[in-house]
A and B are shown apart, each in its own frame.
Chain A
Amino acid sequence: GEDVEQSLFLSVREGDSSVINCTYTDSSSTYLYWYKQEPGAGLQLLTYIFSNMDMKQDQRLTVLLNKKDKHLSLRIADTQTGDSAIYFCAENQGSARQLTFGSGTQLTVLP
């Protein structure tokens, strides 16, 4: 099947902004999602964006969507040590009614 792609690692300093990028595959996806996984835990839905939106902001999180390039990004402002986790993007592929996940980006926040 087609892949949703993410870079594997990102390191930032505490207090800086983090930007996690994702390239998805299905131009007909109606929703795109960001999940957070802390060590030893399940995935927690952070936020999602509807495909007719370009941007969605939720407190420290900003999601940007470029449909032309099939590019999704998650910006975390004022990154804290508690933000250290793996972040997965996912797209829905309508006909199968399933989500396709990227491989996850390990975010490390340095003091």
Chain B
Amino acid sequence: DGGITQSPKYLFRKEGQNVTLSCEQNLNHDAMYWYRQDPGQGLRLIYYSQIVNDFQKGDIAEGYSVSREKKESFPLTVTSAQKNPTAFYLCASSVMWGANYGYTFGSGTRLTVV
């Protein structure tokens, strides 16, 4: 079955550490997205990529970095520069053609700073 997989489900980070969240899709989607969700809040866009080897900053990119070396993969690194990284992180993907490009979401990674 096609889908989008995020790992790990739970991640703990010490102060000053960088951590990388994985996002892999086998839907043959061109576009991929990273969102952050804080308790009781909506989705905030961190980064997105509409084609391999290209990505754009979203609304809250500071303290985060991404790469898009393969169509299937869009890892997110939370750097030590992100001062408040504890949150739920969601990855999504979509097609880049046609008028109906609803997103498919992964199951999320919960990151906690300890």
- A: residues with CB less than 8 A from B are 30-31, 33, 35, 40-45, 48, 50, 88, 90, 92, 94, 97-99, 101-104, 106
Contact = CB atoms under 8 A, between A and B. Distances in A.
Given A98-B48, A101-B43, A103-B42, A42 B101 contact: no
Interface in B1-40: 6, 31, 33, 40
Nearest to B109: A42
A88 B108 contact: no
Given A41-B108, A42-B105, A97 B42 contact: no
Contacts of A30: 99-100
A41 B31 CA distance: 21
Contacts of A50: 100
B13 to A, nearest CB: 19
A2 to B, nearest CB: 13
Contacts of B103: 43, 45, 90, 99
> How many B residues are at the interface, by size bracket?
20 to 34
A31 B96 contact: no
A35 B43 CA distance: 12
A96 to B, nearest CB: 10
A45 B92 CA distance: 12
Contacts, number: 57
Contacts of B42: 88, 101-104
> Does more than half of chain A's interface fall in helix, strand or loop, or is it mixed?
strand
Contacts of A31: 99-102
B31 A97 contact: yes
A92 B33 CA distance: 15
B35 to A, nearest CB: 8
Contact of B106 (A42, A45, A102): A42
A43 B106 CA distance: 8
Contacts of B105: 35, 42-44
Nearest to B44: A101
B86 interface: no
B112 interface: no
